[in-house]
Amino acid sequence: MITRPYGPKKADHPTVGTECPACHVAFVAGDWTTLVPIGPGADPESQHKARNGWAYNAVEIEAHWTCVTGEVFPDA
């Protein structure tokens, strides 16, 4: 899994107010988040590729960077 940070989140970002699935705290402006791949989803082609160990487009969920990595950004 390759994880990269996204942020800081701006006040007008569409996911501000959405709950982090890891800690159940809503995303707010200034948060750093990341995308966590959870699998191939419902796409038959991606499912086939996943079953065979090939690269595929994964369904991802957004979570706080700290919830996923344990790391805290200096400006957080």
pTM reported for the whole predicted model: 0.83
The torsion angles phi and psi of 48, rounded to 5 degrees, stand at -60, -45
Q: How far apart are CA 16 and CA 23, in angstroms?
A: 15
Q: 5-48: per-residue pLDDT in tens?
A: 999 999 999 999 999 999 999 999 999 999 999 999 999 999 99
Q: What is the pLDDT of residues 12-24, one digit of tens each?
A: 999 999 999 999 9
* pLDDT for the residue numbered 76: 53
Q: Are 28 and 6 in contact (CB under 8 A)?
A: no
